[in-house]
Amino acid sequence: MPKPTKGPRLGGGPAHERLLLSNLANALFTHGRITTTETKAKRLRPVAERLITFAKRGDLHARRRVISILRDKSVVHTLFTEIAPQVEERPGGYTRITKLGFRKGDNAPLASIELVLEPLSSTPAPVTRKSAPAAAAPVEEPAADETSTEEAPVEETETTEESAPVAEEADTEAAAEVEEDAATKSDDAEKSDDAK
Q: What is the pLDDT of residues 70-99, one digit of tens each?
A: 999 999 999 999 999 999 999 999 999 999
Tell me the pTM. Answer: 0.60
Protein fold of 14-115: 50s Ribosomal Protein L17; Chain: A, (3.90.1030)
pLDDT of residue 130: 73
pLDDT digits (tens, 9 = 90+) for 104-153: 999 999 999 999 998 877 676 677 777 655 555 566 665 555 555 566 66
Give pLDDT, residue 50: 96
192: phi then psi, degrees, rounded to nearest 5 = -70, -35
From the list 9, 13, 47, 56, the residue with the least C-alpha distance to 28 is 47
Question: Where are the chain's structural domains?
Answer: 14-115
